[in-house]
């Protein structure tokens, strides 16, 4: 056995063993082993592994290996979120095909991941750009189409008028196209939508059944779904159809001074036909961003339509304005404006000199100058007539609903919109639809799937599918006449919404999933960044419910527990190429070996918190590993039985803490606990061979998830049976635990009468008995009755007698 630690040799020995014995390939086990499905979010194959990846995957790997040592059948797969814009942009830049670029990157990143020694079942690897994967996505879309869960409607996209192409949001830089520099316009084109709103209520209520998710993520999802209860109120319009307006603040109805409609509202468009200035204004709005976040900060602009609505209670005439901040996609595209009690309405009213009324006060009788600033909180109603004045906002809402009778009805509203999945890009899953002049939009026949994405070598500005006749021309799946294929591809969030399920049935060619999915799902532990708190995690939950309703899975939620790991920072900022503070994991592994990189990643911070990169910290991790190696070289090989001792008690105290921390995934303190054990054992005389053996074995076991290479090699070299990763997790020997002793002051009626040294943390009963049994103290209460015990734990006992 070599005596100095050689990281390369150790990494290679362990990794070669795992590869040769397919140690991490798992089967569905019908025996009494519990399953554990541990999954880290799949990476985008950029070609370069960064420290954020390392941290994410090592956390997943530590959990997987720990669960395996708990006797579970553990699945930990890996794959590639391989479609998407960066590949397309890179291909344009390098004049290569996106497929070539992507598969080369996958090969590089796979090799980088393998050097980390992750316990992955590589036999299940998925690349989402592979047609054996996306054919089932196309099949699934067709099932949704048949059930009316997808539909096509016009929607606004970013249009580059120079390149004549649709741009993704990230290709719009300061309002201009990233390649052409042209001012980006809005354009309406037909796009496909998943009806996620049909599941809004279940997506919301399901969050209550996920105690293993961070509260922050659940709050973000609740806000995104944005459920509110309100009234839909009919406003009559002079000379036009009435407007239906949704509000959650019916208590402010008497404070409405104008209505506002979206620039896309039919009423605005109708008036604009005979109103050139209004037509220009609508055109201006069309060209500017409709992103909700932009609208919140953009200047509020509007025009008076010159028509009037009738207030449903006061019968007063209310002017109708068009306003750039009202979105057609939200509610009915029309809002009632209450400038006294809404900041946005207030800003608009001030700008265009519209009246502002006060109808809610913080306290009865206490006025607030709403001409200066809107009062937006709930309070007490005023200036709303004798029926409402003096009521609380809550009571006024209810009374308003009764009062309006048929002119209003209760409505539940969700902020969540249907999910638009059409992308006018090449590098994605083709949407399996054919357009026929006679039959309309028809799904491709299932036996013709996959609709393969054709290889294109030289990408230009636009989507090459649009001009690729061999792709576009297709017979109508219904009538057989010549028809045209859809040239849009799916949003890549579609691929990442169900990959976790496909890992279970990775090689199934006859169906999307099979019974193996029922064995493995739901995912027991999911790990990824907080930046996916809303879209990815919401879409995956939605797909899971769809799959359940199609009979493909049995559970209702995809991920039982979620861990959102913190970022890796350097000098307090996120590592990035532009800041020049990127640390290359490959170079670190070259220098120190995989175990040091893994140990530092786990030791420097708890998983959910940011990790500050430190070269000194990495050096420290390397030193610990060398010290551990050297110590374990001398671990006795013969079988020995440990004897009780103070040091053995301390060893098990430390193990108890490690086990608690491991169980709550606080790996940083697990590592520091192991460091303490090593320090403890280093002080123990060499003659206590049994303790060294027991301690060495405990160290190998508890560190095995974090530094699997060193522990694998030494476990075998020291002659322990089997593999360390299949060893049972070490248990605390309760009998070995040192019971600390404490000296208590014993008082009688507040006077110190003596001291007593006892075991710490005795129960109240045991403590009283021990005091009463103490012969030297008994004279102080003999012949008297004990009225009261005052006990300060581990410090003082005062007996009140009389
Ligand atoms: Zn047809």
Ligand 1 centroid – CA 445 distance (Å): 12
Name the average pLDDT for the chain: 92
Ligand 1 centroid – CA 296 distance (Å): 46
Length of the chain: 802
Burial 626-644 (b: 16+ CB within 10 A, else e): eebbebbbebbeeeeebee
Q: How far apart are CA 329 and CA 323, in angstroms?
A: 14
Q: How far apart are CA 316 and CA 310, in angstroms?
A: 6
Do residues 287 and 186 make contact, with C-beta atoms less than 8 angstroms apart?
A: yes
SS3 content of the chain, % helix, strand, coil (to 5): 40, 20, 40
Ligand 1 centroid – CA 432 distance (Å): 15
Structure confidence at residue 193 (pLDDT):
95
Structure confidence at residue 758 (pLDDT):
84
Surrounding ion ligand 1 within 5 Å at CB are 436, 438-439, 476, 478-479
Q: How many CA atoms lie within 13 A of 141 on its CB side?
A: 32
Structure confidence at residue 168 (pLDDT):
73
Ligand 1 centroid – CA 439 distance (Å): 4
The residue behind tokens 């007539």 is 385
Ligand 1 centroid – CA 434 distance (Å): 9
Ligand 1 centroid – CA 449 distance (Å): 18
Ligand 1 centroid – CA 508 distance (Å): 32
Ligand 1 centroid – CA 147 distance (Å): 20
Structure confidence at residue 294 (pLDDT):
60
Structure confidence at residue 284 (pLDDT):
85
Pairing of strands 150-160, 165-167: antiparallel
Instruction: Return the number of other C-beta atoms located less than 10 Å from residue 743's C-beta.
Output: 10
Give the mean pLDDT per block of 10 residues along the chain (802 residues): 82 97 92 93 91 95 98 97 88 86 95 96 98 98 98 89 77 80 87 96 98 97 95 96 95 97 94 94 77 66 96 96 87 92 95 96 80 94 94 95 91 92 94 98 97 88 90 97 97 96 98 97 96 93 98 97 92 76 88 97 92 91 96 87 86 95 96 98 93 96 98 95 96 79 89 87 84 89 90 89 88
The backbone region for 39, taken as left when phi is positive above 0, alpha when psi lies in -120 to 50, beta otherwise, is beta
Ligand 1 centroid – CA 143 distance (Å): 19
Ligand 1 centroid – CA 448 distance (Å): 16
Structure confidence at residue 317 (pLDDT):
97
Structure confidence at residue 295 (pLDDT):
59
Report which DSSP code applies to 189: E
Ligand 1 centroid – CA 475 distance (Å): 8
Ligand 1 centroid – CA 592 distance (Å): 64
Tens-place pLDDT, residues 401-452: 999 988 999 999 999 989 999 998 899 999 999 999 999 999 999 999 999 9
The residue behind tokens 């969700």 is 414
Q: How many helices and strands, by DSSP H and E, does the chain display?
A: 24, 34
Ligand 1 centroid – CA 471 distance (Å): 17
Q: Which two tokens stand for residue 644?
A: 């009780």
Q: Which two tokens stand for residue 220?
A: 């973000």
Ligand 1 centroid – CA 443 distance (Å): 11
Do residues 754 and 38 make contact, with C-beta atoms less than 8 angstroms apart?
A: no
Ligand 1 centroid – CA 474 distance (Å): 11
Which residues on neighbouring strands pair with residue 527, listed in sequence order? 40, 563
Q: What is the DSSP string of 136-147?
A: HHHHHHHHHHHT
Ligand 1 centroid – CA 789 distance (Å): 92
Ligand 1 centroid – CA 317 distance (Å): 52
592's enclosing H/E stretch is: helix 585-592
Structure confidence at residue 289 (pLDDT):
56
pTM (2 d.p.)? 0.86
Structure confidence at residue 738 (pLDDT):
59
Q: What is the DSSP string of 671-717?
A: HHHHHHHHHHHHHS-TT-HHHHHHHHHHHHHHHTTTSHHHHHHHHHH
Ligand 1 centroid – CA 440 distance (Å): 7
Q: In sequence order, which residues have a C-beta less than 8 Å from that of residue 241 and are 6 or more positions away? A: none
Burial 273-298 (b: 16+ CB within 10 A, else e): eebeebeebbeebeebbbeeeebeee
Phi and psi angles of residue 198, each rounded to the nearest 5 degrees, phi first: -65, -20
């Amino acid at each position: 056995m070599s005596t100095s630690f050689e990281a390369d040799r150790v990494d290679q020995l362990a990794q070669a063993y795992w590869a040769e014995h397919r140690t991490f390939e798992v089967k569905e086990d019908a025996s009494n082993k519990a399953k554990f499905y541990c999954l880290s979010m799949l990476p985008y194959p950029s070609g370069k592994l960064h420290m954020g990846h390392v941290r994410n995957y090592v956390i997943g790997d530590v959990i997987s290996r720990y669960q395996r040592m708990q006797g579970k059948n553990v699945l930990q797969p890996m794959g590639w979120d391989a479609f998407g814009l960066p590949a397309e942009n890179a291909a344009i830049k390098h004049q290569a095909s996106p497929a070539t670029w992507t598969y080369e990157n996958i090969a590089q990143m796979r090799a980088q991941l393998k050097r980390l020694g992750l316990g992955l079942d590589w036999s299940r690897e998925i690349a989402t750009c592979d047609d054996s994967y996306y054919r089932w996505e196309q099949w699934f879309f067709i099932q949704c189409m048949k059930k009316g869960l997808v539909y096509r409607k016009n929607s606004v996209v970013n249009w580059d008028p120079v390149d004549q192409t649709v741009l993704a949001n990230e290709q719009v830089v300061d309002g201009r196209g990233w390649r052409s520099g042209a001012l980006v316009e809005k354009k309406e084109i037909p796009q496909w939508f998943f009806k996620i709103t049909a599941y809004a209520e279940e997506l919301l209520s399901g969050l209550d059944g996920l105690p293993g998710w961070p509260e922050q993520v659940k709050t973000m999802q609740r806000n995104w779904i944005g459920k509110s209860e309100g009234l839909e109120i009919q406003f009559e319009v002079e000379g036009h159809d009435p407007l239906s307006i949704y509000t959650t603040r019916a208590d402010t109805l008497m404070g409405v001074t104008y209505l506002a409609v979206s620039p896309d509202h039919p009423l605005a468009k109708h008036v604009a036909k005979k109103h050139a200035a209004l037509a220009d204004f609508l055109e201006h709005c069309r060209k500017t961003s409709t992103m909700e976040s932009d609208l919140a900060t953009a200047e509020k602009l509007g025009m008076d339509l010159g028509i009037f609505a009738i207030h449903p209670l006061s019968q007063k005439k209310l002017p109708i304005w068009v306003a750039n901040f009202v979105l057609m996609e939200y509610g009915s595209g029309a809002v009632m404006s209450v400038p006294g009690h809404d900041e946005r309405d207030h800003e608009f009213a001030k700008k265009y000199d519209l009246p502002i009324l006060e109808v809610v006060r913080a306290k009865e009788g206490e006025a607030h100058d709403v001409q200066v600033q809107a009062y937006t909180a709930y309070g007490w109603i005023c200036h709303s007539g004798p029926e409402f004045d003096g009521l609380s906002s809550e009571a006024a809402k209810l009374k308003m609903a009764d009062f309006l009778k048929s002119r209003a009805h209760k409505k539940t509203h969700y902020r969540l919109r249907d999910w638009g999945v059409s992308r006018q890009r090449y590098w994605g899953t083709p949407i399996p639809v054919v357009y026929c002049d006679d039959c309309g939009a028809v799904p491709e026949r299932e036996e013709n799937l996959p609709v393969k994405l054709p290889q294109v070598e030289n990408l230009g500005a636009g989507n090459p599918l649009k001009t690729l006749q061999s792709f576009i021309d297709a017979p109508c799946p219904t009538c057989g006449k010549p028809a045209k294929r859809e040239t849009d591809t799916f949003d890549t969030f579609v691929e990442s919404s169900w990959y976790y399920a496909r890992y279970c049935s990775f090689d199934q060619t006859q169906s999307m999933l099979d019974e193996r999915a029922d064995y493995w799902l739901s995912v027991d532990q999911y790990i990824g960044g907080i930046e996916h708190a809303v879209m990815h995690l919401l879409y995956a939950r939605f797909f899971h419910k769809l799959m359940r309703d199609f009979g493909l899975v049995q559970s209702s939620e995809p991920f039982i527990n979620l861990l959102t790991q913190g970022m890796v920072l350097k000098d307090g900022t996120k590592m990035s190429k532009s800041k020049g503070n990127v640390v290359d994991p490959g170079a670190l592994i070259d220098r120190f070996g995989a175990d040091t990189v893994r140990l530092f990643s786990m030791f420097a911070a708890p998983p959910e918190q940011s990790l500050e990169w430190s070269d000194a910290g990495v050096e420290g991790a390397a030193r610990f590993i060398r010290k551990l190696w050297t110590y374990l070289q001398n671990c006795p090989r013969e079988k020995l039985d440990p004897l009780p001792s103070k040091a053995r008690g301390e060893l098990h105290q430390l193990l108890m803490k490690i086990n608690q921390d491991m169980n709550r995934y606080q790996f940083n303190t697990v590592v520091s606990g192991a460091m303490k054990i090593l320090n403890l054992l280093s002080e123990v005389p060499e003659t206590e061979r049994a303790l060294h053996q027991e301690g060495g074995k405990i160290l190998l076991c508890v560190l095995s998830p974090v530094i699997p290479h060193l522990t694998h090699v030494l476990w075998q070299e020291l002659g322990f049976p089997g593999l360390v990763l299949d060893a049972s997790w070490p248990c605390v020997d309760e009998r070995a635990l040192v019971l600390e002793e404490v000296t208590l002051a014993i008082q009688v009626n507040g006077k110190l009468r003596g001291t007593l040294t006892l075991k710490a943390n005795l129960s109240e009963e045991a403590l009283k008995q021990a005091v009463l049994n103490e012969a030297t103290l008994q004279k102080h209460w003999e012949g008297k009755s004990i009225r009261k015990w005052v006990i300060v734990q581990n410090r003082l006992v005062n007996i009140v007698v009389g």
